[in-house]
Structure 1
Amino acid sequence: MTRAIRLSRRLTGPLLGLCLAFAPAAEAGMAFIDSQIAAHPGKSGVYVLERGEEALLARAWLADHAQESIAVQYFIWSTDNIGILASEALLRAAERGVRVRVIVDDLLIDAPDASLLALARHPNIEIRIYNPQHSVGTPFHKRVLNVVTDFRGVNQRMHDKTFIVDGKIAITGGRNMADEYFDYDQDYNFRDRDALVLGRVVADMEASFDRFWESELAAGVEELYDGYGLLQKHVDVGDEEVRRIHDGLHAYAQSPENFGPEVRAALQSMPQAFPRLAEQVTWGSVEFISDIPGKNDSRFRLGGGGLTSEALANLVQSATRSIVIQSPYLVLSEEAKTLLREAIARGVRVRISTNSLASTDNLAAFGGYRRQRRELLRMGLEIFEYRPDPEVQRELMARSASADAAPPIFAIHAKTLVVDSATVYIGTFNLDPRSENLNTEVGVIAHDDRLARSVEVAIETDMQPSNSWNAAANPDRHVSFVKRARARFWQLMPIKPLL
């Protein structure tokens, strides 16, 4: 059973800065966006989405007010509450004539076969699966065969997250389409970060999306279920089942238990908040960086680098005073170590916010970090490991399931780099070999002192003792012996290129 969204009790205070700003009628809202773009010719606007609820409501408003097109890329699209509501929002957009294109990576998609097909059967919806060797249309024995015959191929994933509306406004950043990325999971939630962007840079985002859309690695859902035999599933849905699935999505979204009426009211009211949003958007020079489908030309090795790796390395090399990084996983390649050693040697202070053993969602990745933690500290890196119960959780989560319920574990998922308090990257790139060499990644780089400093302050808040432990003080002691033993097991595994 999926968990219900209940926003009504806490939809006030700081959240109003953006949530209620996205509220006028479609025509007025999009006209306002057009006027802002026209007032800043050749520039791009950025608004940072720090809270899960504002990130969700921004997406909801954009989906409801799209007039021509929606283009979406995600690494994870779950069939939990958030995933179902997002699917229904795209279906509603398609039903009013909006062209909807969706690319989802194959590795962790868990949607039922019939539901995927039913959505793809709508004349205005197209769904493609990136590198389908694991899940969609693939029986278990074919998946095993793929791992044996194309080990690098099955590990090369699309980690991109983009949400582009009408070619003029978009969202990119760390959040996948699942409960825990928007603060709605009752047991485990991520501290994440997105960037809402508009203006010139959106054209570059759309061009990147089109490259993936046309790539031979992206296969249409229908063709993945059309085959017969041992190597491919055959799935079909008739017109009646398509209607039943579509009607079921609409009924789910209309239920107050799943999407409260107060939330809908927030999305439909207070048009006067738009000018308030405009004051918070930073306009200037913004770059969109992205990898090509397939990441690089390597076919057998697990290395190879990529365009995002190169762009971020150049940012690190440009630092003269400070580097602040936030990444859920911290497994440095030899190349990354060299970059940071050189930065420290020229007097740059390097601080990193990452997960502790108590908060991490990935023991294998933490094992890789644990294996090199002492070396990284000796290099001069200042590392802060996030607590599972940070004080800042109360501010970032505008509501809780129950005042009496135990708070969920909170963990870092934001991927951010700030250089010299003047340039900021917000995107999907984790500080690990997988993002460097295997997964395709994206993100925006904004050159603005005020914006960069505001994000840096947010990360510095996460580094405070009430929110993080200093890595030099043995934070592993805060977890059980069993969990430490499991981390030690992964620490010994020779799998660094896959982390």
Structure 2
Amino acid sequence: MLDNTAVTSGRWAEFVNQHAAASVSSGYRLLANGADALEARQVSTRCAHSRVCIQTYIWEDDDSGRLLMAELLTAAKRGVQVYLLLDDMDVRGNDYALALLDQHPNIHIRLFNPFRFRFSPVHALVEVILRGSELNHRMHNKAWLVDGLFAVIGGRNIGDAYFDRSQETNFIDLDMAVVGGEAAAAETSFWSYWQHPLAIPVHRLKRLRKAARAWEKHPLWLKLKHLPEMADAITQKPPKLNDDSRWLSPNYYQWHANAQFIADNANKVQRTNQQSAGVLQAILFRFARAKQQVHIISPYFTPGEAGVAMLASMVAKGVEVKVLTNSLASNDVLFAHSGYAKRRRSLLAAGVKLFEMKAEQKSRLRLSTAKASLHSKALVIDQQEVFVGSFNLGARSAMINTELGIFIDDNDMANRLINIFTESTRSEICYRLRYINQRVVWQDTQNCYLREPDSRWWRRLLAWLAQQLPLESQL
């Protein structure tokens, strides 16, 4: 049953009513480390009164994924309605678990743009051949929404690697915690996706429904039933996440009236609404009026010919453009790197300042010594307006996938994000690229490199081969 009525009771309602004045409707907190981002989701769920709505691209079955699922089960047990909307690209393999969870009377799960054939690899391959164009469009939005009053919006999926808890590779990411008016706007967007014809309830997928009944005695079901009890054991692993006092303190947030939540229309995946793709148009509008400086953080930066021309025109007008993206060594998507590398010379020749993150690094912003991969999506325009969201600067985010984000017009927030950019581009942990004698050169504290540093020859070869393929419109 759909429950999108305004929530007037509970801890979040009391907090917002006390501290969000009519002229300053929302509070914001930039979540720059994984511990805070995980805690925001956990604590906000514990404080939920009516509902928790979650929209995400990936949900991993690891400690962080199980911890947050345990929080949702615990909330559902005390009567909170849980609405979980997952893109189906990475769901297969967890079908049974989702079907079983969906049987809880207070948990409602839908898959966005799902595959029809779910168990046979041969059938899946046939479906990709027949429906590849449809399946190519994905819901890339990431939002954790509580009572329509608290939201976490940004680039993080759900999993250890997104919360700096992996022992192998961690994604350096950003979220924005939002309290008040713009959280309600984010929930309104969620409901538009939830009610979209491509958001299919799990219980309507017949094979999953039958499989769930057959699996009620399977050990996996017993494991799921005990997830709430597992939460205490999981939280004993560092970092401990138990204190909710700061999340309900007005001093923990910056309060602003000049903010805008923005999301693509869900119809974008059906190619019926490309011209009104909200996030792209909002970004282009702000780029057009930039006067001094633009900072871009984009892990999968694939500007294409049109994007290069746009950034070059900004530089020609006197705007300093700085871009932080992944190096070949730190990028987890080889094809995305190839799309960026193809345009690297043109960007440097136009005067765009490029920085590439190293895979091996130690940063004051990170808690782990595992390898790093940039996953943050953020902008700062003229040291005044910031954007944090799920949008990569490339064709896939612009025209294929759906995205979301939030703009905040505030000098203090802009300066904090610029400080993160500056910290992340220190020569100890990042390469500065230059264009010298018609060649791209990578520089760090001590060395200059004439080819992609920290990468094996075969990976450089694969990246070069990928550049020769006509894939730029898909990146």
TM-score normalised according to structure 2 size? 0.89
1:217 matched residue in structure 2: 198
Amino acid at match of 2:242: L
Q: Does residue 1:201 correspond to 2:182, yes or no?
A: yes
C-alpha displacement at 1:114, in angstroms?
2.2
Please give the secondary structure, in 2, of the residue aligned with 1:156. Answer: coil
CA shift in 2, pair 1:223/1:245, >3 Å = farther
1:486 to 452, 462, 469: 462
Counterpart in the other structure of 1:290: 263
Is the aligned partner of 1:463 residue 2:463?
Answer: no
1:71 corresponds to: 53
SS in 2 for 1:85: helix
- Give SS of 1:309's match: helix
C-alpha distance after superposition, 1:222-277 (max 9, x if no partner): 111x15xxxx995232665696244232343232xx2208866x5247x4x46865
Contact 2:10–2:48 (Cα < 8 Å) also in 1: no
Instruction: Verify the 8 A CA contact 2:308 2:343 in the aligned structure 1.
Output: no
Q: Counterparts of 1:34 and 1:186 in 2: how far apart (Å)?
A: 42
Identity of aligned residues (%): 29
* C-alpha distance in structure 2 between counterparts of 1:30 and 1:262, whole Å: 31
Rounded to whole Å, the distance in 2 between the matches of 1:303 and 1:331 is 19
Question: Match for 2:468: what amino acid?
Answer: L
Note the residue ranges of structure 1 that are not aligned, 5 or more in a row.
Answer: 1-25, 401-406
Residues 138 and 402, structure 2, Cα contact 8 Å, conserved in 1: yes
Alignment of 1:49-128 (within 5 A): 49-110=31-92, 112-128=94-110
Counterpart Cα distance in 1 of 2:199 and 2:420: 37
- 2:3 paired with 1:34: no
Q: Which residue in 1 is equivalent to 2:438? A: none
Change (3 A) 1:110 1:81: farther
Please say if 1:161 is aligned against 2:153: no
- Return the letter of the residue paired with 2:104: H
What do the CA deviations read for 1:38-73 (whole angstroms, capped 9, x no partner)?
Answer: x35452221100000011011110111101110000
SS at match of 2:302: coil
Contact 1:305 1:437 in 2 (8 A): no
Query: How many angstroms apart in 1 are the aligned matches of 2:243 and 2:24?
Result: 31
Greater mean deviation of Cα atoms: 458-467 or 144-153: 144-153
What is aligned with 2:279?
308
Taking a change above 3 Å as real, the CA distance of residues 268 and 279 of structure 1, as seen in their structure-2 partners, is closer
Task: Give the partner amino acid of 1:287.
Answer: Q
Matched AA of 1:380: G
CA change 1:60–1:233 in 2 (3 A) is closer
Distance 1:275 1:105, change over 3 A: closer
Q: Distance in 2 between matches of 1:484 and 1:113?
A: 37
Q: Distance in 1 between matches of 2:11 and 2:187?
A: 24
Query: TM-score w.r.t. structure 1 length?
Result: 0.85
Distance 2:11 2:137 in 1: 42
* Cα distance change on mapping 1:155 and 1:363 into 2, 3 Å: same
Equivalent residue letter for 2:15: F
Distance 2:239 2:328 in 1: 36
2:340 to 366, 369, 390: 369
In the aligned structure 2, how far is the partner of 1:445 from the partner of 1:94? 32
Write out per-residue CA displacement over residues 292-341 of structure 1, whole angstroms, 9 at most, x where no aligned residue: 11316637xx9867221111111111101111000001111333223212
Secondary structure of the equivalent of 1:205? helix
Seen in structure 2, the aligned counterparts of structure 1 residues 286 and 134 have a Cα distance that, compared at 3 Å, is farther
Q: What value does the CA root-mean-square deviation take over the aligned residues? A: 2.5
* Secondary structure of 2:111 counterpart: strand
1:138 Cα deviation from its structure 2 partner: 5.7
Paired with 2:329 and 2:239, the residues of 1 have a C-alpha distance of: 33
1:428 aligns with 2:380: no
How many residue pairs end up in the alignment? 451
* 2:54 alignment partner, SS class: strand
Report the counterpart of residue 396 of structure 1 in structure 2. 365
Q: How does 1:337-416 map to 2 (within 5 A)?
A: 337-392=308-363, 395-398=364-367, 400=368, 407-416=369-378
Contact 1:298 1:304 in 2 (8 A): no
2:188 and 2:217 map into 1 onto residues whose CA distance is 37
**Does structure 2 conserve the Cα–Cα contact (< 8 Å) formed by 1:386 and 1:411?**
yes
Give distance in 2, aligned partners of 1:28 and 1:149: 49
Distance 1:274 1:150 in 2: 45
Shift of 1:87: 1.2
Q: Label 1:440 to 1:138 Cα distance change in 2 as closer, same or farther (>3 A).
A: farther
1:148-297 → structure 2 map (5 Å cutoff): 148-224=129-205, 226-227=206-207, 234-237=210-213, 244-255=222-233, 258-260=234-236, 267-268=242-243, 271=245, 273=246, 278-295=251-268
Instruction: State the alpha-carbon separation in 1 of the partners of residues 95 and 236 from structure 2.
Output: 28
SS of corresponding position for 2:268: coil
2:143 corresponds to which letter in structure 1?
Answer: T
User: Relative to structure 1, is the Cα distance of residues 357 and 305 closer, same or farther in structure 2, using a 3 angstrom cutoff?
Assistant: farther
- Alpha carbons of 1:88 and 1:279: their partners in 2 closer, same or farther (altered >3 Å)? closer
**Matches of 2:247 and 2:129, distance apart in 1:** 54
Query: Distance between the aligned counterparts of 1:327 and 1:86, measured in 2?
Result: 27
CA 1:27/1:55 → structure 2, altered by over 3 Å: closer, same or farther? same
State the distance in 2 between where 1:277 and 1:386 align: 35
